[in-house]
Amino acid sequence: MIKRVPSLLNTLFRSLLLPGIVAVILGVFIVFSLVREEYDELQDMALASKAHLLLQVFEAQTKPGDITALQGDFRPLSFEHDLLDADELTQFWVLDAEGHMLLHSTRLDDEILTARIAGGFVTALGFRITDATTQDGSLTVVAATPMEERNEAIRDVVLGVITGFVLLGFLVAGAAYVAVRRSAAVIVELSTQIESKDAHDLSPINRTNTFAEIEPAIDKMDTLMARLDAALKAERAFATNAAHELRTPVAICLAHVQRLRTKLTDTDTSRSAADLEQGLKRLTRLIERLLQMARAQSGLGVGASAADIAPVIKLLLRELRERVPSPEMLVVTEPQGVWMSNVDPDAIGIILNNLFDNALKHASGDAPMIVDASTHGLIVISNDCPALAPDEMAAIKQRFSRHSKRSAGFGLGLSIVQELCEQSDSTLELASPCRGQTRGFSARVTFSVSEGK
């Protein structure tokens, strides 16, 4: 099973989003706790102050007997009426030493008195309750404020904090998204540039938009590509130089042996010279195949600049005509018009000459070899021979695999053709018997071509 590679953008975004949400929740919770604690403390102090203030007023200015005179118009902190709703007002009770109610504010709920804890704060029946008592215990003021007001204030604070955090979160997330996108775009551009590199383009990477953090990686990449470029150039140069260095000595030997044969009169010696000549010719063919293989492995078939390949094919067909023993043994249909293609001319030469060699070598001789280039981009080379078995068909593209053990070939030709076709985005289809027939072998090569001008 192939492991799916995660996207950098998604990974970065997820990595930032999750901690961001947790940070917002945690922030809201901490702010809520602190605000609630401080606010409660302030409100409790305010409530206690009101109770103590009233107590001191009653204790200092009013005789106990006179307190009842205030009964009808007891409105301490009357300013609250202008600021608060009726259900938000603080309520008061004034009790004597026995706990009898001397005075109380409007909207009285006497059950609150039963819930109070003397000298402390308590929350009950939707109120925050406290009291203040004179030193002699003669008067007690009980004050109670509705919790709803406090809770509303806390809710407003928390809502404000949450709104602030969410807005901040969106802002930070947006900024992070843009930053991540921009950073990822640099990585994507770098990746595209690296992806576009091949045997024909190993130029240094464009650094107009990079980061300091990835510069060392680009430096390393450029160094590696420069080394690869040098290695490929050396490999191609080797194939070219080796052609001269290997072919010339063999040419010298072959020429001398052929001259020697004309001078020899002794039968045995002549036969030896003939064997030597055959061996040299075989060595020539082997050198040719090995040089082709070296060129294929150095990426000869990888995109050249676009050019019309029809003249190249015509030249190869002209050379083929010179190789057949008699003109009637070859039927050729030449390419028409322009075949614009990126396939290297030398790769085309190696591909077609190998297929021509194959057809000439294995043709039965009962029917002509046919080369049909009438379809734009397609060349079909076919020859007459007994049909090949499926296992033979499967084996012939393998390196060092021969169609026949008695064949004079090395079993390299078709594997070289296959490799060059793959490199040049061309396709090679082999068939035996030929389509619609019971005999024969055909090779169809489709080059990637356009019409061009």
Partner 1 sequence: MRILLIEDEAALARPLREHLEEDQHIVEWFTTLDEAHSAIRTLEYDVVLLDLQLPDGEGLSFLSKLREKHIRTPIIILTARDKVSDRIDGLNRGADDYVIKPFDLDEVTARIHTVCRRSAGQLTQTTLVRDLSICFADHSVSRAGIAIRLTAKEWSVLEVLLRRKSKIVPKESLEAAVYAFGEEVESNALEAHISRLRGKLGKDLIVTHRGIGYMLQP
| Element containing residue 34 per DSSP (H, E) | helix 8-61
Q: Give me the least distance between CB of 410 and partner 1, in Å please.
A: 17
Q: Which residue has the tokens 């009770």?
A: 93
Q: Rounded to the nearest 5 degrees, what angle is found at the Cα of 97, between the Cα atoms of 95 and 102?
A: 30
Q: Rounded to the nearest whole angstrom, what is the least distance from the CB of residue 288 to partner 1 in the complex?
A: 7
Nearer to partner 1, 349 or 440 (CB): 349
Alpha-carbon gap, residue 140 to 129, rounded angstroms: 13
CA 195, chain centre distance (Å): 12
Looking at beta carbons only, is 47 or 304 nearer to partner 1? 304
By beta-carbon proximity to partner 1, the closer residue of 4 and 244 is 244
Least distance to partner 1, CB of residue 346, Å? 5
Q: How far is the CB of 401 from partner 1 (least distance, A)?
A: 24
Report, in Å, the least distance between residue 331 CB and partner 1: 21
- CA 235 to CA 221: how far, in whole Å? 21
CB of 286 to partner 1, least distance (A): 12
Which residues lie near partner 1 (CB under 8 A)?
A: 240, 243-244, 246-248, 250-256, 258-259, 262, 280-281, 284, 288, 291, 311-312, 315-316, 345-346, 348-349
Q: Which is nearer to partner 1, 94 or 291 (CB)?
A: 291
Helical spans, DSSP H, in 264-327:
267-297, 310-323
Q: Which helix (H) or strand (E) element contains residue 140?
A: strand 139-146
Shortest distance (Å) from residue 412 CB to partner 1: 15
Cα gap 67→54, rounded to integer Å: 12
∠ CA(366), CA(367), CA(369), 5° rounding? Answer: 130
Closer Cβ to partner 1, 179 or 315, answer by number: 315
Shortest Cβ distance from residue 311 to partner 1 (Å)?
7
* Cβ 428 vs Cβ 421: under 8 Å: yes
Closest CB to partner 1 among residues 241, 427: 241
Identify which of residues 72 and 325 has a Cβ nearer to partner 1 in the complex.
325
d(CA 52, CA 140): 9
Picking from 409, 413, 420, the residue whose alpha carbon sits closest to that of residue 397 is: 413
> Nearer to partner 1 by C-beta: 137 or 249?
249
Strands 307-308 and 441-446: unpaired
Cis peptide before 64 (omega within 30 of 0): no
Cα-trace Rg, the chain:
50
